[in-house]
């Protein structure tokens, strides 16, 4: 996934969380980037390849169950590999909402009270959100590099939000092989002719036959 595409996918629901909870959208987006590698390392079920939509690396069982994957964590001065259970969600929106609920707990009170996203990043580190000793600095660099503070505006991104989730549907269809060209993503809002509907339906049929 292109970096700009990933930011487009998560920016609208991140702004929605800022509107509802005063969690800086720039922090939410930066954490999603850092934890998921711009959406390229989202935990997947190793057996089926089912995506978990877990863009924050949150452990446990989620609304859509869980997936088990190997991860690296910084423990007692060294990086170690462990098999972890990660929450699975039905969408990025659901993942961001769960992330927001975690930050609303008393442990992260100072993160919510922060007056700048950079201050919030430091408070995340102090509260022990991640084991990486450079976690706050990495968030700050991402915020600056991609101008993420532009999303720290209290507004309800209604139309943009709809467009974002249309893009997510299109990108998932591309990833699963239901559509075969990225050019389809430019036509998500256009009425689809019958031949195009049939082409997609036949592609799904072919994939089902391949699995038999």
Do residues 85 and 136 both lie within one domain? yes
Instruction: Specify the pTM.
Output: 0.70
Do residues 150 and 163 both lie within one domain? no
Q: How far, in Å, CA of 52 to CA of 101, rounded?
A: 18
Do residues 127 and 205 both lie within one domain? no
Last residue of some domain: 130, 155, 180?
155
pLDDT string in tens for the chain (212-residue length): 789 889 988 998 999 999 999 999 999 999 999 999 999 999 998 888 888 999 999 999 999 999 988 877 778 888 888 888 999 998 899 999 999 999 999 999 999 999 999 999 999 999 999 888 999 999 999 999 999 999 997 655 454 554 555 666 666 666 666 666 555 555 655 665 655 665 666 666 676 766 55
Do residues 129 and 186 both lie within one domain? no
Last residue of some domain: 155, 172, 198?
155
CATH of the domain at 109: 1.10.530.10
Do residues 37 and 21 both lie within one domain? yes
How much is the pLDDT for 159?
A: 47
How much is the pLDDT for 55?
A: 96
How much is the pLDDT for 72?
A: 78
Residues designated as active site: 73, 98
Count of other CB atoms within 10 angstroms of residue 127: 16
How much is the pLDDT for 107?
A: 97
Number of structural domains, the chain?
2
How much is the pLDDT for 49?
A: 84
Do residues 43 and 135 both lie within one domain? yes
Last residue of some domain: 135, 155, 175?
155
Contact predicate 170/179, CB 8 Å: yes
4-26: b (≥16 Cβ within 10 Å) or e: eebbbbbbbbbbbbbeeeebbbb
Do residues 104 and 60 both lie within one domain? yes
Do residues 80 and 131 both lie within one domain? yes
Do residues 29 and 127 both lie within one domain? yes
Range of the domain at 202: 159-210
Do residues 28 and 63 both lie within one domain? yes
Do residues 145 and 194 both lie within one domain? no
Do residues 198 and 141 both lie within one domain? no
């Amino acid at each position: 996934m292109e970096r700009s595409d990933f930011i487009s996918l998560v920016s609208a629901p991140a702004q929605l969380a800022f509107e509802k909870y005063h969690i800086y959208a720039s922090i939410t987006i930066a954490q999603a980037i850092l934890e998921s590698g711009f959406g390229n390392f989202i935990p997947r079920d190793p057996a089926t390849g089912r995506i978990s939509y877990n863009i924050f690396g949150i452990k446990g069982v989620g609304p859509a169950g869980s997936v088990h994957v190997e991860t690296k964590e910084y423990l007692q001065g060294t990086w170690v590999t462990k098999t972890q259970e990660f929450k699975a969600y039905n969408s990025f929106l659901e993942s961001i909402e769960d992330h927001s609920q975690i930050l609303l707990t008393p442990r992260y009170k100072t993160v919510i009270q922060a007056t700048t996203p950079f201050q919030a990043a430091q408070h995340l580190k102090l509260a022990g959100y991640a084991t990486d000793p450079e976690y706050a600095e990495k968030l700050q660099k991402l915020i600056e590099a991609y101008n993420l503070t532009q999303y720290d505006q209290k507004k309800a991104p209604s139309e943009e939000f709809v467009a974002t989730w249309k893009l997510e549907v299109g990108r998932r269809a591309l990833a699963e092989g239901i559509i075969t060209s990225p050019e389809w993503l430019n036509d998500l809002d256009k009425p689809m002719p019958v031949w195009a509907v049939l082409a997609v339906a036949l592609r799904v049929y072919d994939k089902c036959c391949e699995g038999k």
